[in-house]
Amino acid sequence: MTITAAADGSALGNPGPAGWAWYVNDDCWRAGGWPHGTNNQGELMAVLDLFRATAHVPGEDLLILCDSQYVINAVTKWMPGWKRKGWRKADGKPVLNVDLLKEIDQALVGRKYTFEWVRGHAGHELNEAADVRARAAATAYQQDVAVRQGPGFGTPEGGTPSAGQADSMMPQAAPRTAPAQPAPSQAATRAPAAPAPSGQQELFGAPGAYDEPDLFSELEEELAALAETSPEAVVESLERELLRPETRADVGRTGVLLHPDFTEIGSSGRIWTRDAMMMSLEDNPGGPVDLELLGADRLGEKTMLLTYRSHTREGSALRSSLWVLEGAQWRLRFHQGTPEA
């Protein structure tokens, strides 16, 4: 028998009120969170809690559906190297979220598991169910109301709670200790983002002004680890990240990924600046975008040209993105899109 479950995390503001959840079906799911945390911490905690919740059935195969390539790569690729280096990255800096990662490393012992990447916010039933519950938990902490924790995985023979139901599930990595919760109540979920206006297929949007955002630690961790892969793979991963609605709505992430001198020539012929993009995206991140890669060409040691076809509900467009490397960080310097007939 294979247990199939989706695991997801959410952080309102990233960092901010954070939630996590795993979901098998309506009778088998669990959620939690913290008053302050990151999206990556939520994603990791969902995976950890899922392993703990199924610890009483170690002989069962576990298929984990996850929309975070950071989590999948951290657990399946990068963790062995981090352990050999004393939980330090290639640059010698400590690995972020190390307490959660160490707990996951222990939980994996003796388990049969497979991770499968699924595209977030693309209508996948289990992923959407986990996402809704993770966002509900984050919203509950934002509104200071009780979190709907869910039924868990049930209890093994003997009547004792499964690991996934224990009160000690909160990891040491949580930035703050969660307050005692009142009696269970329904937590509100965040309203979905408004769809992008039809007609003009532009990557981003309209004028505003933002200071340089802080570089959030979990994104720096992901980028530092990705540096061990090819630059082409890194740039493609970052381009896909920018096409996700949850990324586009987060000024922190867009501020990290867009170069200070970013410019776009939109499909309408309008020229967009970085500040204009950030304000427009925060107000209207649009819907899901599929990327069909056409090419990733190095124009120099620190310059990469990515060409691809994007697919949305409004149609397809041919796009080119110029990425430049600043230190260890790839940032989008220029973008142009042309709708296909």
By annotation, the residues acting in catalysis are: 8-9, 43, 67, 121, 131
Q: Within 13 A of 189's CA, how many CA atoms are on the CB side?
A: 13
Provide the edge-to-edge strand list for the sheet that holds 315-326.
271-273, 258-265, 329-339, 315-326, 303-312, 290-300
Q: CA-CA distance, 214 to 301, in Å (whole number)?
A: 26
Please name every residue paired with 114 in a beta bridge, in sequence order, or none if there are none. 63
Largest CA distance in the chain: 68
Measuring CA to CA, how many Å separate 45 from each of 10, 74, 125, 195, 246?
Answer: 11, 13, 21, 30, 19
Taking alpha carbons only, the member of 258, 266, 218 closest to residue 238 is: 258
Taking alpha carbons only, the member of 76, 59, 85, 87 closest to residue 2 is: 59
In the three-class reduction of DSSP (H, G, I as helix; E, B as strand; rest coil), residue 230 is classed as: coil
Please answer whether residues 295 and 304 qualify as being in contact, where contact means their C-beta atoms are separated by less than 8 angstroms. no
Residue type at 273 in one-letter notation: T
